[in-house]
A and B are shown apart, each in its own frame.
Chain A
């Protein structure tokens, strides 16, 4: 049932702007791929190209083994024949049709029997927990309910690929959490190949099997959430993912496995790096101590921001500012002295000029 998708060298211009710039990626059958990036990075355009709503200016797209788009060969299958479903950010339910009609619209085109249509309506409404809403008009439902119906509408005609364009961004924070869990469950049970567009890195990290980070139309990194989070391919990805933000510290390689940052040294695998580098450190990757420790670096506490489950601490030392996190409510107060210990393998080094990750030697 599920199928893979292959995108090769896809390019799309809007005027002189390359909205999608030579993007190649493969989405394995049954996986949940998130296209992640800031607004204007080309993620939605890429999705729309796959959906057949935009015509790319170069490259090829396959669904399974089937070539559905090729610029050089002049092939472009209409959306209807690509066997995919799309959920829109603003739901796009047809306002003049009741829920039932919204769902059966596509089924009528597939010429299903009346009984089959009824069965599908019941089935999909149950799947999104909206039983009994058949006779409602879209405007008679809340945003969250409308989004569930939009989902049901897509599920009902059983496309091979699910495309979702920021489906949760119009919902409030609570509802978004609930829907995330449900979408993940849905993907788990249907096993359909899913491409999910979002600018919310938490959404990407929590839901995907793979994340593709994009910027200015160019694919930055494509990997599992774990790798993208812990080993961002470049400074942009490192900075975009994670909350609170990653610490990016300017430093100089002063020896094998040693980088000088401001007035202290960090022990880290420097790979083949030399000269100026940027050290990236996740806030949760430092051990905080209130007692002096010869292996740790002394910092002054600039600010303490508790948020219940964790406490964010901003510490500084000679113009170097570091954000760290501690679980629970911290006893540390502003202007305290703390000692931070950094785990060598939690630190990533980036080339200052290119911004690319410098791989470890070992």
Chain B
């Protein structure tokens, strides 16, 4: 009996030991460790903030205790939802801004499609002269900060409503432009479309290039007219590309803050993103979070819809494959007309806005267009004048240097971590392909994609006003900006990391593994050298994209952690237009410099940088 018992216990412990060994073996595999580390990091950076945000909207806040009878700090309540969704103020707080957001997103997307689609067609499928140059210039508006155009618009079209000084329009034509042209939905839609048409341009031109011309030629042989071919053959084939552009543009515009704030605020035209900032600014954090959740829900909805709609149709993209230089439409006598038209358009969205900002920055007093008013005061003026609340000119302003340094620092750190995350996530996901852990990590990495910039910022306030586990309360620190920027870029880093790793292929690493190389040696000797091109271009693209990010960090900056992007917004809100414009110009210079370096690097293309 006793011997049976010992035999049993030995068997049992041996079994237990084997399981433990197997577990340790599983755990000691590099991609499992990496997956687990990345999972924990992303859990902290994405899941907990989202949870905290949800929690805040569902509990009584300090502010409510003072104003709402019966409120108990921390107790569960649907009060904020009731207030925002059905309450007396819901029309002002939620429904009107939501309607406005949807209006500008729809308008901007349609307009962007028209502009981007036509440009793509002209560049890829016609014999218009100068197509190469047009192709290069077409992406520049996207490289500039998104609110550049809005600010230039204000310089040109503003009327006496804001600041009481005349815009260039009034100076030239002697008449003040009407409110609908100066502010509100029309300019917001135009400015957003002129920034985001790049998505459509890149998607559609790629799709047009990949269509096998024989598909169209066979239509032509059957006697179909040009227009009919365009409508019945070409259009359905580029439809998936158009839909992708639609989704991207729509959700970006929904979450954008700069343009709507500059052009909407003067006429009290609020959209959800500006409303979120408003609510949080006055301390109604829970209300702001409800709005942020609405934005997140909306973009989840759009993305699900998108996957339903084009999930099966994506297979179109592979049709034909290499049929480049298809049939080119001859524009005949219209060639020059189209060319001149396109060049004028590009001048209008690139040179004119920058010119307006420069001009404005040289005006001592805003709105005075006489030559005697030209001055370098705002660039290199002394401290303590009546201008700009006594601040010295931008180039002599220690605050600006600090802000610029913050911008560069933020971009560098974020770019570094994003590139690093890319390699690690790519390795963990690709090596673990087919396992549940890998799928989980990949899906988690995709999550920030559905969180609009301003909402992400809101999420981070919720998380880091209080200490969290080992982390201190990070609100107001520079680290928080870095953290949120990295988190926001995770979908992009994961996707580029995965595609880089897929290109390396598993055999190259396995060959080293069998030859006896340790994981460290494999990373150093095989994986990093083979992914380095992607690493460098990913780094640079993140750098320029963080540099001009506003929506994400506008809620999180403090005077100490101010960056150039948010500084422009504060100058604008303070009425220091010229200072704001100079800072925008500096930002454009920095970003252009970054783009120039990227173009020198092989493998760095803007398309990758758009987070696609």
Contact = CB atoms under 8 A, between A and B. Distances in A.
A80 B517 contact: yes
B511 A157 contact: no
B21 A73 contact: yes
Interface in B16-45: 17-22, 25-26
B512 A105 contact: yes
Contacts of A72: 15, 18
Contact of B20 (A74, A76, A92): A74
Contacts of B526: 94
A96 B508 CA distance: 11
A74 B21 contact: yes
A109 B18 contact: no
A12 to B, nearest CB: 13
A204 B19 CA distance: 39
Interface in A89-124: 90, 92, 94-96, 105-106, 109-110
B525 A105 contact: yes
Contacts of A84: 514
Contacts of B19: 74
Contacts of B521: 109
B507 interface: yes
A109 B512 CA distance: 10
A75 B475 CA distance: 48
Given A74-B17, A105-B517, A86 B434 contact: no
A52 B518 CA distance: 14
Nearest to B19: A74
Contacts of B22: 71, 74, 76
Contacts of B25: 55, 74, 76
Contacts of B134: none
A153 B512 CA distance: 11
Given A53-B513, A74-B25, A106-B516, A94 B18 contact: no
Given A84-B514, A109-B515, A109-B517, A96 B530 contact: yes
Contacts of B513: 53, 78-80
Contacts of A86: 510-511, 514
B75 to A, nearest CB: 46
B525 A92 contact: no
Contacts of A52: 514
A157 B515 contact: yes
A14 B434 CA distance: 8
B529 interface: yes
Point out which of A52, A74, A92 has the most chain B C-beta atoms below 10 A from its C-beta.
A74
Point out which of A15, A75, A94, A96 has the most chain B C-beta atoms below 10 A from its C-beta.
A94
A109 B525 CA distance: 12
A78 B514 CA distance: 9
Nearest to B21: A74
A75 B18 CA distance: 8
Contacts of B518: 80
14 contacts: A51-B510, A74-B19, A74-B25, A79-B510, A80-B513, A88-B511, A90-B507, A92-B505, A92-B508, A94-B512, A95-B530, A110-B516, A153-B515, A157-B516
Interface of A: 14-15, 51-53, 55, 71-76, 78-80, 84-86, 88, 90, 92, 94-96, 105-106, 109-110, 153, 157
Given A55-B25, A92-B505, A106-B515, 11 more contacts: A15-B434, A51-B514, A53-B513, A74-B22, A79-B514, A88-B507, A90-B507, A92-B510, A94-B512, A96-B530, A109-B515
